[in-house]
Amino acid sequence: MKIILASASPRRREIMDKLNLSYRVIVPNIDETLNEELPLEKQIEDLAYRKAMAIKKNRRDDLVIAADTVVVVNHHILGKPHSLSEARKMMKMLSGKTHKVITSIAILGQEEYVDHDVAYVTFSKLNDQEIEDYIQTREPYDKAGGYAIQGWASVFIPRMKGSYYTVMGFPLHLVYNKLRELGLYDHQQ
C-alpha cells in the first residue's frame, strides 16, 4: 500500500514531510464548489472527501489523504483570491478582526476517516499601505483568506488560538493520530 497526498499545495507537502513517511503526490482535478446545503464544517469536510475520492477511485489499494481550508470572517467565507482587488478586499475584511480557519481532512484507505479542525487568528489593524505592500508580494494568491501565516503576513498576527498547522492548511495532529491508529505510522522510527 502506498500513501498518496492528494494536493497541489507545497505547504501541505512541507507539513506531511514532518511525519517521515514515504508518500507520493497526485493532484486531484475536481469541481471545488462547496455544497451549501450542508453546515459549513461539513461543506469543508465534503470537499476534502471529494478530493481524496477523485484519487482513491483509481488507487483502491492505496491510502489517500486530502485536505481543504477556508477562512471565515463576519460570516463571509474567504477562499483564494484571484485578483489584486479580491486580495485587497480580503485583507481589509481581516484587518483588526479575529477570524476562523477551518481545515478538513479526509483519509481514505480500507476505512474512511473525515474530520476538521478549527483555529482562530487575530489580525492587527492594517493601514492601506500595509495592505498594498502585502498584496504586491504575490503571497496571497494561492491561499485561503489571501494570506500565509508562515509568510510575511505573520507580522500582522498578534494572536492565534488553535493549531498553527490547521491555519497553514493541514492539521498535522489529526493526520498523525489517524495514521498511528491505523498502524501506518510508528513514532519509534
Q: Decide if 176 contacts 183 (C-beta within 8 A).
A: no
Q: Residue 66 is placed in which grid cell? A: 486530502
Give yes or no: 133 in active site.
no
DSSP 128-181: HHHHHHHHTTSGGGGSGGG--TTTGGGGG-SEEES-HHHHHT--HHHHHHHHHH
Q: Residue 85 is placed in which grid cell? A: 482587488
The angle subtended at Cα 128 by Cα 126 and Cα 133, nearest 5°, is 90
74: exposed, middle or buried (Cβ count in 10 Å: 0-12, 13-18, 19+): exposed
Query: Active-site residue among 46, 68, 117, 128?
Result: 68
| CA 121 to each of CA 91, 165, 180: distance values in angstroms, whole numbers, following the listed order | 13, 12, 29
Catalytically active residues are: 68
